[in-house]
Structure 1
Amino acid sequence: MRPRLSRSPVPVAVAALIALTGCSGGADGGARPGQPRDGGTLRLGLDHDPVCLDPQQSALGQSLDIGRQVVDSLTDQDPRTGKTVPWLATSWKSDERATRFTFTLRPGVTFSDGEPLDAKALKANFDAVHRLGPALSRGAVHLSGYRETRVEGPRTATVLFATPNAQFLRGTSTVSLGLLSPRSLARSPRERCTGEIRGTGPFTLDTYRANTSVTLNRRPGYDWGSPLWARRGGAYLKSVEYRVVPENTTRSGSLSSGQLDVATAVAPQDTARFEGGGFALLRRTGPGVPLALHVNTARPALGDVRVRRALQKGIDREAIALAFLSSPRLAASGVLSSTTPDYTDLGARLGHDPDGAKRLLDAAGWRPGPDGVRVKEGEQLRLDAVFVRQQSLELVQQQLKEIGVRLELRPLTVSRFPQVLGSGEYDLSLQSANRADPDVLTTVFTEQNPVPDRALRADLRRASASADDAERERIFGRVQTRLVEDAHVLPLNEVEVTVARSDRVHGLGLDASNRLLLHDTWIG
């Protein structure tokens, strides 16, 4: 059955890395009285419209959470160990240079439109993602250097790269490289965004009403789930209803009153009400690049490393984490989140030092003006920050004012944000990137927000291409230090997922990339 789709205008893609939700690995670990039950509809509150439902295009956490239920991946990543395990691919092998990967597919897998998952379908997927390119697809970043996919047999295909791509294998575990049916791939990117997608996953898309709801139905006959899932066979839930409830208090109130079973992105001030009394919390600090201000060094004032370093010193991260997250432990301590493999602790280099910041600005020729804003050659030190959700920026604005910098806040829509980034008409951009792999640094700082330092970009590509774990760790560590020292990025706070659920909900899971998992979920 084809889904009933709303035809409201929806942007084709969201290329910017805006992580608006985060998740953790494994199931929730709450008490499970009685036996799991089949059936029921899970009502789940989202804080934002998914905008584009195609996981190969979208970068929004809300969209990827939905996509994870509809599409499966070649491999899965154990959120506790980081190990890559088989899923739709029963086995694989690669050459020593990481330029050739051969996959053997599981037999008997079909897409929900009846097409088989075979080597030709795998080739069609990787070719399609490559054609989209990194500007339109997060998945395309994992295909850096892609040459082609060769069909070796009905269930065997070899993926070839022109240059080493060691991070590709782990990338095959992400929903961004989740597999769609060839018929879905034949549709336009816009049609796929509005819901014209079919995967091999445990749920199928039924309806999408923009800014209102998304409904999924359980897929009959599903029998090829990840080995990391608890249940073999199909999902317990008969259906899932995602409701878009942007207001935090309304979303929390809907859970409290029984109108929702699960609420995502619970605000810090609301967490206490869901710690017991018929409710429970699922929370974890997400891996990847924490919430940070990314610096556009092409702008005149920000081309001076002394100005960038002054901004770094002018930010009080612990105050931000305490004020907005009620937890100073969530203050960013590096370019990567502390839960990311190969994370380097740079907290000592990110200390709040307003006097040091003022000395740097003095040395750069920016002198205090009559209104406190620094001036150089008749121009005020005025910067703008673009964002979809400002979160902590009002406090950052106050902190930078103390060192003589005027920060102007410029909100943008989800669709407008990547357009402004592409134009370069901004000074700072508020972003985060969710991925349980240090290669996220390569994605962000060579593709999404490329740094001008060619040597640094070369280091990142060398680390991502290397199959030597020790070399990768060494290079990524060096890069993290340089990104902070030269203030190409101003880390603010780590992103902690906080999902609240009714005690009626059991088995709610989260994968290594912080995507919600609903296959094992059941309602008691």
Structure 2
Amino acid sequence: MAVAASAALTAGLTACGSSDTSGPSSDAGAPQSGGTLRYGLSGAPTCADPAQSGSNQTIYVARQVVDSLTDQDPETGALTPWLAESWDVSSDASSFTFHLRDGVTFSDGTPFTADSVKKNFDAILGTLTAAKAALAASYLAGYTGSTVVDPQTVQVNFAAPNAQFLQATSTVQLGFLSDADVAKSAEQRCAGDLSGTGPFVYESYVQDKSATLAKRAGYAWGSDVFAHDGEAYLDKIEFTIVPESGVRSGSLASGQLDAVSDALPQDAPQIEGSGGRILTTSNPGVPFGFQPNVTRGVLADPAVRAAIVPAINRQELVDTVLGPDFKPATSTLASRTPDYTALSDVTYDPDAAKKILDDAGWVPGPDGIRAKNGTPLSFSVTFSSVFAGNQAILELVQQQLRQVGIDLRLDLVSTAEQTARQGTKDYDSTYYNSTRADGDILRTAFGLDGRNLNARGPIPELDEVLAAQLRTTDPQQRGELIERAQQLILDNGLWLPTVELSQAIGAASAVQDLKFEASARLQFFDAWLSE
């Protein structure tokens, strides 16, 4: 299967709305090199290592330092060359052969070769382990090793068909580090001072505090998705952490920052009043929602999980907290994900929610909260402020659930603590989203061989559907399986969706061509600063 044909393994992305394109202002002129872009992150970059990166704020930094074998066109979803000039896929999608570009080097001066691919992939399932690099490990499900055919050719092998792998090679988690960095421990890799092949290099990195990237001199192997060849335009990117939304927008309006994350609706007037604009795109993948621990507390009752879905007024969440650039979730996949299907069950109907609870024996008490056999209908949700709107969204959900007799308790923790508690499954429910432009994200989140934060046991039909989409190379058949998986996940109460995440980036008028890649993360390679 040649490079053009192999793109059929990934479906096209649906179009998404945007309040502003990321292109240049009409009077900005031709792109010019130089300058430092000062960027305000809403949360800390938690790890310099791309394989261990998870949050958008972390990926915004790591994506600029590493390249991937392929890239994914954000408009069409087609896979295009990057570090691999072409590739061949076996008929059963269990073996992938990549033909690499010549002349690519890491920023420490060492060459990028087929052996680099092998060592990086081996480390993800060895040195790092799935606990440290959960997403990267899920992309390598069934990995049996890589064969170095020659210095510029590598064959990546799996024990069984792995149809999602080709799209996974476009992700930041499967980006590449030098041999010296691959040999480091997981903790050392998180601390920074890493060498990638990307258009920027780490000039400084203080874990959980700040990062400064500098242009990589001599970079000449950009993705086919990039708008220009050669080096990046910007000399530097300075990332600082500014958790408060109002402070971020104020710093942008006053000229202290050039661009900021998570520009919420209340920030727009100040940003636009100073001549700036809001750049938006919606995230593919799993939308924000509750993942219940089905072995613990009242959420072990399927009726409770079923009642929560119609009890949530998703449109009110968007209208009240987020604004028109966001969408209510309508499935267990976000609408921009290939093979997304809207589910009629994801609708607001509080009367239906009350009937489900009535039929299951949950009786309203004098305070309005239901109970059954002396147990109040109460559970907690563990969440972090990795997205600036999370707390306000959950406070409103808390009010909505109370109207049908459910007591929701909010448990705000640090991102690190949420990750740790997800690892031990120490929660009633956990609230998050997960971004990827491929429906296999459902296997990663809900499969028994994935994260399985539901702590569930076997569900034969769902388990078979998730496994079948992994071994199915026909795009139509795979799409049908992914559509079925979305319904089964909802039917079994494994995901209780709320809203779709959108990236809303505030940018000053001088910032040109700051772009989103296919997974809605920022790509700074084409960005430049006008006078």
Question: Structure 2 length normalisation: TM-score?
Answer: 0.91
Distance 1:307 1:247 in 2: 35
* Equivalent position SS for 1:90: strand
- Quote the residue 2:371 is aligned against: 375
The equivalent of 1:363 in structure 2 is 359
- Distance in 2 of aligned mates of 1:62 and 1:32: 31
Question: In 2, Cα distance between the equivalents of 1:414 and 1:505?
Answer: 30
Q: Distance in 2 between matches of 1:365 and 1:497?
A: 42
Is the 1:280–1:500 Cα contact (8 Å) retained in structure 2? Answer: yes
- Within a 5 Å distance, the mapping from 1:41-440 to structure 2 comes to 41-131=36-126, 132-137=128-133, 138-275=135-272, 278-327=275-324, 330-346=327-343, 348-389=344-385, 390-391=390-391, 392-440=393-441
Task: Please tell me whether the aligned partners of residues 206 and 215 of structure 1 are also in contact (alpha carbons under 8 angstroms).
Answer: yes
Question: Retained in 2: the 8 A contact 1:318–1:331?
Answer: yes
Q: Distance in 2 between matches of 1:379 and 1:500?
A: 47
Partner secondary structure for residue 246 of structure 1: coil
AA paired with 1:179? F
CA offset digits 1:300-332 (Å, max 9, x no partner):
422322111111121111111111112396111
Question: What are the Cα deviations for residues 450-503 of structure 1, in whole angstroms up to 9, with x where unaligned?
Answer: 554243122112112211111111111111112223322111001111111111
Sequence identity percentage: 42
Looking at structure 2, the residues matched to 24 and 115 of structure 1 have their Cα atoms a distance apart, in angstroms, of 43
Number of aligned positions between the proteins: 502
Q: Is the 8 A contact 1:37 1:523 kept in 2?
A: yes
Post-superposition offset of 1:341? 0.8
| Shift of residue 211, structure 1, vs aligned partner | 4.4
- Aligned partners of 1:231, 1:46: CA distance in 2, in Å? 26
CA offsets, 1:85-117, max 9 Å, x none?
111001110111111111111000000001100
SS at match of 2:464: helix
- Aligned 8 A contact 2:35 2:529 in 1: yes
State the shift of 1:336 in Å: 1.1
In structure 2, the partner of 1:501 is: 507
353-362 vs 149-158, greater mean Cα deviation: 353-362
Structure 1 residue 27, shift from structure 2 partner: 4.6
Distance in 2 between residues matched to 1:420 and 1:277, nearest whole Å: 42
Please say if residues 82 and 222 of structure 2, whose CA atoms lie closer than 8 Å, have aligned partners that are also in contact: yes
Unaligned runs of 5+ residues in structure 2 are: 1-16
- Distance in 1 (alpha carbons) for counterparts of 2:140 and 2:18: 24
324-333 or 73-82: bigger deviation: 324-333
Counterpart Cα distance in 1 of 2:74 and 2:470: 20
Q: Report if the CA contact (8 A) 1:510-1:517 is conserved.
A: yes
Where 1:216 maps in the other structure, the secondary structure is strand
When residues 290 and 474 of structure 1 are mapped into structure 2, their CA distance, relative to the original with a 3 A threshold, is same
Which secondary structure does the structure 1 equivalent of 2:498 belong to?
strand
Cα–Cα, structure 1 residues 384 and 130, in superposed 2: closer, same or farther, change >3 Å? same
Q: What residue in structure 2 maps to residue 517 of structure 1? A: 523
Cα distance in 2 for residues equivalent to 1:260 and 1:81: 32
Q: Secondary structure at the match of 1:92?
A: strand
**1:45–1:245 CA contact under 8 A, matched in 2:** yes
Cα 1:309–1:41, aligned 2, differ >3 Å: closer, same or farther?
A: same
Mapped partners of 2:460, 2:192: distance in 1: 40
Distance in 2 (alpha carbons) for counterparts of 1:222 and 1:32: 29
- Are 2:19 and 2:325, in contact at CA under 8 Å, matched by a contact in 1? no
Residue type of the partner of 2:119? A
Whole-angstrom CA distance in 2 between matches of 1:24 and 1:194: 36
Q: Which moved more, 1:444-453 or 1:483-492?
A: 444-453
Q: Secondary structure at the match of 1:70?
A: coil
AA in 1 matched with 2:303: R
Q: Measured at CA, do residues 226 and 328 of structure 1 come closer, stay the same or move farther in structure 2, by a change above 3 Å? A: closer
1:15 corresponds in structure 2 to none
Tell me if structure 2 keeps the 8 A contact 1:28–1:507.
yes
User: Distance between the aligned counterparts of 1:360 and 1:167, measured in 2?
Assistant: 37
Q: Distance in 2 between matches of 1:54 and 1:107?
A: 25
SS in 2 for 1:394: helix
Aligned-partner Cα distance in 1 for 2:67–2:322: 33
Change (3 A) 1:484 1:463: same
1:23–1:236 Cα change, 3 Å:
farther
Distance in 2 of aligned mates of 1:85 and 1:183? 28
Superposed CA deviations along residues 196-217 of structure 1, whole A, max 9, x for unmatched, are 3110001100112344421011
Deviation at residue 368 of structure 1 after TM alignment? 1.4
Structure 2 residue 493 is matched with structure 1 residue 487: yes
Task: Specify the alignment match of 2:5 in structure 1.
Answer: none
Q: How does 1:20-35 map to 2 (within 5 A)?
A: 27-28=22-23, 30-31=25-26, 33-35=28-30
Shift of the 416–380 alpha-carbon distance from structure 1 to 2, 3 Å rule, reads: same
Aligned partners of 1:424 and 1:234: how far apart in 2? 45
Deviation, 1:273, is: 3.3
User: SS state of the match for residue 51, structure 1?
Assistant: coil
Which aligned runs of 4 or more in structure 1 are off by greater than 6 angstroms?
Answer: 22-26
1:3 corresponding residue in structure 2: none
Shift of residue 435, structure 1, vs aligned partner: 0.9
Contact preservation (8 Å) 1:310, 1:361? yes
Of 261-270 and 422-431, the range deviating more from structure 2:
422-431
Structure 2 CA distance for partners of 1:464 and 1:23, relative to 1, 3 Å: farther
Query: Which ranges of structure 1 fall in alignment gaps of 5 or more residues?
Result: 1-21
